[in-house]
Amino acid sequence: MLNQYDVKFPDSSYIPVEEDQVFNMKAYSVSRKISILADKDYYYWNQREDFGNLGKSSSYTYNEPWKYLNILSEVFNIIETSPNWSLAQQSKLKAMYIGRLFNSSYTTVIEIIKLQKNEHEREALIAGLRKIINDRMDPQSINEVRQESRWMVLGIKYGMNDEELSNLETELFSGEKSLAQNIQSINGETVKNLSIHGQLCAIPVDFLKKEKTLGSN
C-alpha cells in the first residue's frame, strides 16, 4: 500500500518538524481499514545516554513561519485529495487536525507565534494561518473544532494580531468574573459573545470549567 500510493516521509527541507504526522495522515487517507496492533502487555522504553532526542534539537522547532504553515497545508492537501473521504468527512478531519495542532499536549499556536524571531515573522505566520482557515475551512468545519482551539481559530480568522490573541487568552482565562460576562447557551454549548474586529463571535467556553476542575485537583 505504501509503495502503491507513494506514502513516504516528506523531504525535511519542506517538512522539518513532526513529519510523522504527514506520513500517518497520508497512510490513513489511502487505507481501506485502520486498526491498532497491540498484542503485547508492555513495551521497553529506551533512553539515550544524553537524555536527548531529535525533538530537542534547535532545528526541530516551529521557529520559522513556513515550518508551521507547511505542515498544516500539507495535511489539508492530503485530506482534500483522499480517494476515500467524503466532503463531510474532510471537513470534520480538518477540524480535528487543526484543533490538535493549535492546542496539543506540548504547545499552543499562541506559544508558537511567540517563538518567531520578530514581529514581521509573527504576523507572517498569523497571515498564513488566516489564509488557510479562510480558504480551506467552511463554517461547519470551524464549528467542529474542539473548544480548546476554536477561540484561537476564530481570533486568527477575524484578524487578530499576536498581541490581541494574547489579550484574548488572558481575558478568557482570567477567572469567574470574566467568564460570567456576555454568556449564553447555543446548541448545547456555553458561549461567550465577543466582538472581534467588528465580527460578533460566539466562543465556546465550557472547556474553561474543565480546566479549572483539573487545576484544582
Q: Which residue has the higher pLDDT, 181 or 132?
A: 132
- The pLDDT of residue 181 is above 70: yes
Highest average pLDDT, of 3-12, 53-62, 130-139, comes from: 130-139
* Residue that wins the pLDDT comparison between 46 and 147: 147
Q: DSSP letters along the chain, please?
A: -TTTTT--PPPTTT--SSHHHHHHHHHHHH-S--------S-------TTS--GGGSTTSS--SHHHHHHHHHHHHHHHHH-SS--HHHHHHHHHHHHHHHHB-SS-BHHHHHHHSSSHHHHHHHHHHHHHHHHHH--HHHHHTS-HHHHHHHHHHHTT--HHHHHHHHHHHTS-HHHHTTTEEEETTEEEEEEEETTEEEEEE-HHHHHHHHHHH-
